[in-house]
Amino acid sequence: MIPDRVVATPAARALLADIITDHGPVMFVQSGGCCDGSSPMCYKKGDYLIGARDVKLGEIEGVEVWISGSLFEIWRYSQMVLDAGPGHGAGFSLDTGRGQCFLSRSRLFSDDEAAALSL
């Protein structure tokens, strides 16, 4: 079985549902650092322009999750775990000001999972 490259915790799914209720369709972009650290950023769908080298990791509740090609090379052997916890959000992300923010964690794929992904 091919593992998902991105999964979400119940806390992340609950925060995502609230944001979709308020804003409609959204998307995620895993930030690679700089101004917003390494936070997963949640935008209204279409408000972030996907580049030719960006990689779609997968979907959570039908919401696309993207990462830059260069960051994907670093994350290639890991599953992204989208989580939520206390915080203020980052930059223009739609979780800003809600008292909770999205977080990304990672889990290394097992040897069998890595083989199934044909890394």
What's the pLDDT tens digit per position in 33-66? Answer: 665 557 899 999 999 999 999 999 999 999 999 9
C-alpha dist (Å) from residue 50 to 4, 64, 91, 109: 21, 11, 18, 26
Protein fold of 6-117: Hypothetical Protein Aq_1857; Chain: A; (2.60.300)
- Across the chain, mean pLDDT equals 90
User: Where residue 89 falls among pLDDT bands split at 50, 70, 90?
Assistant: confident
Q: Mean per-residue pLDDT for 3-9?
A: 97
Q: Rounded CA gap, 85 and 104, in Å?
A: 10
pTM, rounded to two decimals: 0.91
Domain boundaries, the chain: 6-117
